Structure 1
Amino acid sequence: MSIFDNTTSKGTFFEKAQRFGKSFMLPIAVLPAAGLLLGIGGAFSNPNTIRAYPFLNITWLQNIFTIMADAGSIVFANLAILFAVGIAVGLARSDRGTAGLASLLAFLVMNSTIHSLLKITDTLAKNNLAQAGQGMSLGIQTLETGVFGGIVVGIMTYYLHNKYNKIELPQFLGFFGGSRFIPIISSFAAIFLGAIMFVIWPHFQKIIFGIGSIVGSTGYIGTLIYGFILRMLGPFGLHHIFYLPFWTTALGGSAIINGQLVEGTQRIFFAQLGDPSTTHYYIGISRFMSGRFITMMFGLIGACLAMYQTARPEKKKIVGGLLLSAALTSFLTGITEPIEFSFLFVAPALYVLHAFFDGCAFMIAHMLQITVGQTFSGGFIDFILFGVLQGVSKTNWIYIPMVGIPWFFLYYFSFKFCILKFNLKTPGREDETDEISILTQNNTPASANQNRVDCIINGLGGKTNIIELDCCATRLRITVKDGNLVRESLLKKSGARGVLKSGNAVQVIYGPQVTVIKNELEETLNL
C-alpha cells in the first residue's frame, strides 16, 4: 500500500507524484513575500549599502528596513516546520486543519525526543553546534535535520491522518476518536521517529554530503544536466520534487554562517543575505539558481518574438498581444508556463531544444560564478533585489545581461529556423480549424466567470467526477474518478493553455490567475 493512497484503486505513479509535488506549493507560496522582505530590508540596511548611499542612513528608515529583514529571515530560519505542516495539509484529502496541527505537534515531539537522547548519551554540544551537526529548532537544541526532517514529519503525519481520521474507539474513549485521535497518534509516532532519526541521521548526513560532493565533482557538465532535467520535468509539474533537495538540504551544499550550520543553496543564500560580512555569495547558487535568469529574462523572450514573426499575417494581432503578455510574465516574475505551453504540445522537439539551452544557461552561470539568488523564480524582480542591489562584487550580476542578450538571439534564430524549416504549428500557424483559444488569457468579465467555471466542470466530467481540486502557481491539479470522462476540448475552450492527463490525475494550465479560477470552482463545488 502506498503512503499516498490507502484506497483499493491503484493510482499511477504520475498521480502520486503530482499530489506529492503540489504539496510543496503551500510552503513555497510564502517564500516570495518573505524573500521580498528580506531582500529589500537586508539590501538597504546592509552597512556597505549605507556607506555607498548615505541618504539611507536615517534612523526611522533603517528601523523599518531592519524589521523587514528580520520578518523575512524568520521564515527562512523555520523552513522545516513550514514544510512539515505544509506537506501534511497539502496531502490530506479532508480535515486539513487537523493534519496541520498534528504535524506541528509531531515536529516538536520529534525534536524534543532527539534533544533528550542527546542529553542521555552526553552528546549534547555545549558550543560549536554546527561542527557537531546540531542546531536550534523552535528553541530546541537538536540534530540539524533541516527541511528533510520537516518533510519526513509531514509525510508521516499525512499517512496517519489518512489511515485513522475516521477511527471509532470504544464508547468510553469515544471522545478521542476520529480527528481528535490524529494529534495523539502522531505525537506518539514522533517519539519513535525522533529515536530513529537520532540513530540514522548522522550517517545519512554523511551520505548526503557524499552525494553532494559527487554532484560537485561532475563540474560544469553536471550543472548542465541539472538544468536540463529541471526543465524537462516542468511540464509534468514534478520539478519541485527535483530542485527542492538542492535548495533546502545538504545536497545543495553546506556552510557555517555566524557559527550556525546552514544546509541547502537557498537557505545559505538567505543566511548570507543577512550577514554583512559576506563578500561573495555561495558558489552553489551559480549551479542551482542563477541560470534561470538568463532563460526567463532573455531566452524565452526571443522565442516569443520568433513565434510572433512566424505567425500568419492575419493572426499576428491576436498572437502578438498574447505572446507579449506571456513574455512580460516570464521577464518580470520568472513564470514560464504561458510561453512553454504555447509550443510544448504542437512542437515538443522545440521544448527539448529549450531544455538543452536552459541547461547550458545553468552551466554558463556556473562558469562565470554568477551568484544571484531567488525566492522561487528567476525574473526581473528577483534580479534587482538579489543581484543589482547586492552589488557586482557579491553576485557578478553584470554577466546576466551580457550573456542574456546573445541568449535572446540564440533562442530567436533557432526557434525561427525550426518553425519555418519543419512548419511547426506554433501560435498563429495553426490550421484554419484549430482554435486560438488555447492561448486565451482568461481576462473574462465577472458576468462570464460562471460560464468559464461550468465549462471547466463539464470538461472534467461533471461535479460527481471531481475528487480533489488544488493548484500550484500556474495550473489546476485535479484528481477525478474516471479519467475517460475528461474532455480536453472543453477545458481548452475555458481558456486553458494546455492539459496533461495520466490516469485519474489531470493538470490544466491557465497561468498566474489560476488561484482565482480555483476559488471560483471551490465555491461552485462547495468544497
Structure 2
Amino acid sequence: MLLTFFVDYIFLGEITMKGKVMDTLQTLGRTFMLPIALLPAAGIMLGIGASFTGDAFIELYGLENILGEGTVLNGFLSILSDSGDVIFGNLPLFFAIAVGLGVAKQAKEVAALSAAVAYFMMYASMTSTIDNFRDIDALNETAGLVGSVVGFDNTLNMGVFGGIIIGLIVAYLHNRFYKIELPDALSFFSGTRFVPIISAFTAVFVGILMAFLWPFAGGGIAWLGEAVADLGYVGTFLYGFIYRALIPLGLHHVFYLPFWQTALGGVAEVAGQTVEGAQNILFAQLSAGEPIDPEAAKFFSGMFPFMIFGFPAAAFAMYQAAREERKKDVKGLMVSASLTSIFTGITEPIEFSFLFASPFLYFGVHVVLGALSFVIMHVLEVGVGLTFSGGLLDFIFYGILPGQAMTNWIPVVIVGVIYGFVYYFAFRFFIHKFDLKTPGREEGDTESKLYTKQDYKDKKAGGKTGDVTDEMSKDIIEGLGGEDNLNDVSNCATRLRVNVKDGEKVDQPLLKSTGAAGVMVKGNNVQVIYGPKVANIKSNIDEYRQAQKKE
C-alpha cells in the first residue's frame, strides 16, 4: 500500500481514482521486465559455473583431475559463475535505470543515465549520513538491514526498493524538467542537460532522508517476511493463489518481486554473508555449494509441475474437445503454446485460450491447482529455483544439474506426472460438462481466430515478409482504435501494453485475428497477449508508425 500511495502521489496527484492506480501499477510492472530479462542469462552462467565446480558434483563423478581447483576448466567455470553473480549483486541499480527509462515520456536515454547517477548519489549520501549521525551497531540489530551496496560498506540494504524509489523520483523529475528553458547565461544546461543535475542534487537529500526512514521500513518488511513464514503452508498457498490470479491483470510482477528480492522472501546467512530475498538466497546457496533451503525455494518450485506437465495436458484436453473441422488449427496452436510452456515457462498463450471461455476454469480450477502445487513442493521440501519462470530449462539448470542432494528435484517429476493427469481430466470434464467455448468449440470463427502458420502463409503468398509484418502492424493499430487513439505503446514479456485515449474504440475481434491469445481492456489501458514473440511485434509496430509519419 505504501508503494501504491507513493507511486500514485508522484504521478497522479491523488489516490482516489482506482483506474489510475491500476494504470500506474501496470506501468511499474512493465518496467520491471527489463532487469528481470537479465536473470536467465545471469542465472545460466551462475548455475553452470557453480554446479560444475561444486565439491559434491566433482567428488560424485570423480572429476578432480578435470574440474578440480586449479584446472583450466575450473578457472573458466569460475569466471562464468562470477560473471553471472555480478548481475544479481547489482540488480537494484538495474531496476533504478529500468524504472527511470520505462516511466520517462521522452528522451529515455537521459532518464536512464540520470537514474544511474542518482542511485550512486543516494547511496553516497546515505552511507555518509549513517557514518556521521547514526549508530551502526543499533542498525545491525535488524537482520539484513546493513550491508555493502555498489561499493559502499556499512550502508542500508534497500534492495530493489531502493532502485525502484530512485527510478520513480528521477522519472518524475525528468518528465517535469526535460523541456525546461533557463536564462541565456545558463542556456547550456537547459532541457535534457538539466535532468541529471537536478536528479543528482535530489538524490543527496533522498539519501539523507532514507538514512533515518528506511530502518523503519526495512524492519517492517523483515517482520512481514517472518509473518509469512509463520503462516507455513497456508502462506505458501496464498502466495501461489494470488500470484496466478494476478496474471490476467498483468500485476503479478509487482506482487512476486518483493518476495524474490527483498527480506519479505526471507533472510539467511550464506557463506558468512547475510542475504535477503528468496531468489538471492537460492543463488547464494547454489554458488556456495550448499543445499538449497526449501523455505527460499517455496516461492519457485511450485511452478514446475503445472508448467511442464499440467498445461500441456490441459492443451491436449482442449485439442480433443475441439470440433473435427477445427482440430487441425487448434493442434498447431496448442502444440506451439505447450512447447512454450514446457521449455520457457511462459504460460499466457495457453491460459488466455481458456480464461475468456470460462473464468471458472481459470480461477476456480487452474489457480487453485497452481497454488496447491506450491504447497506440495513446500511439503516435500523441494529446493528447485528459477530465474524467470518454471520451464524445463530452469528445471535442468537449477534442479537436475546441481544434483538431488542439493535440490531434491525428483519429487517434481513424480508430482508433475500426476498433475498432468489431474489437469487433463479436470479440463476434459468441465469443457464437456458446461460446453465451454475453448479454442475450436466456438460457434463463430472471428472471436476465437488465432494467428496460425496458415494465416502467415496466406499473407506471405500475397507479398514479401515486410508486407506481412506491415499488414499485421496496421491491423493491430486499427484494432487499437487507430493511430490517433494511441497514447503509449510498450510491452512486457508476453503482452503488448497500450494506453489509448478511448478504450471503447478498441476492436477486440480484429486484434485477436492478428494472433492474440487474448485481449483485455480496462478503461483506457489495453493488454494484447501475444506470448514470447511480443517484443518483435512491438518493434514492427514502432517501425511501421515511424514509416507512416515520414510519408
The higher-RCO structure (CA 8 Å, 6+ apart) is 1
The TM-score normalised by the length of structure 2 is 0.91
Deviations 1:71-123 (A, max 9, x none): 11000011110111111111111111111111111111111111111221374
Could you say which residue in structure 1 is the equivalent of 2:524? 504
Return the match for 1:84 from 85, 96, 101.
Answer: 96
For the pair 1:383 / 2:403, whether they are aligned, the reply is: no
Identity of counterpart residues, as a percentage?
A: 46
For the pair 1:483 / 2:503, whether they are aligned, the reply is: yes
Deviation at 1:62, TM superposition (A): 2.2
Counterpart-to-counterpart distance in 1, 2:302 and 2:143: 32
Residues 1:68 and 1:128: Cα distance change in structure 2 (over 3 Å):
farther
Return the match for 1:465 from 485, 493, 513.
Answer: 485
- Stretches of structure 2 that go unaligned for 5 or more consecutive residues are 1-7
For the pair 1:15 / 2:23, whether they are aligned, the reply is: yes
Counterpart-to-counterpart distance in 2, 1:32 and 1:132: 25
SS at match of 2:235: helix
Deviation at 1:522, TM superposition (A): 0.7
Deviation at 1:322, TM superposition (A): 1.2
Return the match for 1:407 from 416, 419, 425.
Answer: 419
Which one is further off, 446-455 or 379-388? 446-455
Q: Which residue identity is paired with 2:184?
A: Q
For the pair 1:150 / 2:163, whether they are aligned, the reply is: yes
Deviation at 1:364, TM superposition (A): 0.7
Deviations 1:441-467 (A, max 9, x none): 685652411111111111112222222
Q: Which residue identity is paired with 1:230?
A: Y
Deviation at 1:223, TM superposition (A): 0.9
Contact kept in structure 1, 2:264 and 2:277, CA below 8 Å: yes
Return the match for 1:304 from 274, 297, 315.
Answer: 315
Deviation at 1:323, TM superposition (A): 0.5
Deviation at 1:177, TM superposition (A): 1.8
Contact kept in structure 2, 1:88 and 1:157, CA below 8 Å: yes
SS at match of 2:498: strand
Return the match for 1:32 from 9, 29, 40.
Answer: 40
The TM-score normalised by the length of structure 1 is 0.95
For the pair 1:271 / 2:288, whether they are aligned, the reply is: no
Return the match for 1:47 from 31, 34, 55.
Answer: 55
Could you say which residue in structure 1 is the equivalent of 2:358? 347
Residues 1:209 and 1:54: Cα distance change in structure 2 (over 3 Å):
same
Deviation at 1:57, TM superposition (A): 2.1
Q: Which residue identity is paired with 2:11?
A: F
Residues 1:413 and 1:440: Cα distance change in structure 2 (over 3 Å):
same
Contact kept in structure 1, 2:446 and 2:513, CA below 8 Å: no
Could you say which residue in structure 2 is the equivalent of 1:243? 256
Deviation at 1:128, TM superposition (A): 8.4
Contact kept in structure 1, 2:448 and 2:512, CA below 8 Å: no
How many residue pairs match? The answer is: 523
Could you say which residue in structure 2 is the equivalent of 1:116? 128
Counterpart-to-counterpart distance in 2, 1:282 and 1:187: 40
Could you say which residue in structure 1 is the equivalent of 2:3? none
Deviation at 1:439, TM superposition (A): 5.3
Task: Note the 1:353-364 alignment, pairs <5 A.
Answer: 353-364=365-376
Could you say which residue in structure 2 is the equivalent of 1:174? 187
Q: Which residue identity is paired with 2:226?
A: S
Which one is further off, 436-445 or 322-331? 436-445
SS at match of 2:532: coil
Could you say which residue in structure 1 is the equivalent of 2:231? 218
Counterpart-to-counterpart distance in 2, 1:308 and 1:395: 35
Contact kept in structure 2, 1:342 and 1:439, CA below 8 Å: no
- Stretches of structure 1 that go unaligned for 5 or more consecutive residues are none
Return the match for 2:174 from 161, 174, 178.
Answer: 161
Q: Which residue identity is paired with 1:4?
A: F
Deviations 1:48-69 (A, max 9, x none): 2222234542733222211111
Residues 1:359 and 1:413: Cα distance change in structure 2 (over 3 Å):
same
Deviations 1:278-327 (A, max 9, x none): 1x212333321110011101111221111111111222222112101111
Counterpart-to-counterpart distance in 1, 2:456 and 2:497: 21
Return the match for 2:209 from 196, 199, 203.
Answer: 196
Q: Which residue identity is paired with 2:113?
A: L
Task: Note the 1:308-457 alignment, pairs <5 A.
Answer: 308-352=319-363, 353-434=365-446, 436-438=448-450, 440=452, 445=460, 446=465, 447-457=467-477
Return the match for 2:67 from 57, 65, 83.
Answer: 57
Counterpart-to-counterpart distance in 2, 1:111 and 1:129: 20
Could you say which residue in structure 2 is the equivalent of 1:140? 152
Deviation at 1:4, TM superposition (A): 3.1
Counterpart-to-counterpart distance in 2, 1:328 and 1:80: 32
Deviation at 1:130, TM superposition (A): 9.0
Contact kept in structure 1, 2:358 and 2:436, CA below 8 Å: yes
SS at match of 2:401: helix
Counterpart-to-counterpart distance in 2, 1:369 and 1:131: 24
Contact kept in structure 1, 2:282 and 2:297, CA below 8 Å: no
Return the match for 2:243 from 222, 230, 243.
Answer: 230
SS at match of 1:70: helix
Deviation at 1:14, TM superposition (A): 2.6
SS at match of 1:431: coil
SS at match of 1:3: helix
Return the match for 2:294 from 276, 283, 294.
Answer: 283
Counterpart-to-counterpart distance in 2, 1:128 and 1:250: 14
Counterpart-to-counterpart distance in 2, 1:139 and 1:264: 20
Contact kept in structure 2, 1:323 and 1:339, CA below 8 Å: yes
Q: Which residue identity is paired with 2:197?
A: I
Contact kept in structure 2, 1:474 and 1:512, CA below 8 Å: yes
Counterpart-to-counterpart distance in 2, 1:504 and 1:432: 27
Contact kept in structure 2, 1:133 and 1:261, CA below 8 Å: no
Contact kept in structure 2, 1:6 and 1:162, CA below 8 Å: no
SS at match of 1:94: coil
Q: Which residue identity is paired with 1:182?
A: V
SS at match of 1:374: coil
SS at match of 2:196: helix
Q: Which residue identity is paired with 1:213?
A: E
Deviation at 1:171, TM superposition (A): 2.2
Deviation at 1:132, TM superposition (A): 7.6
Contact kept in structure 2, 1:327 and 1:339, CA below 8 Å: yes
Counterpart-to-counterpart distance in 1, 2:332 and 2:143: 56
Deviation at 1:3, TM superposition (A): 2.5
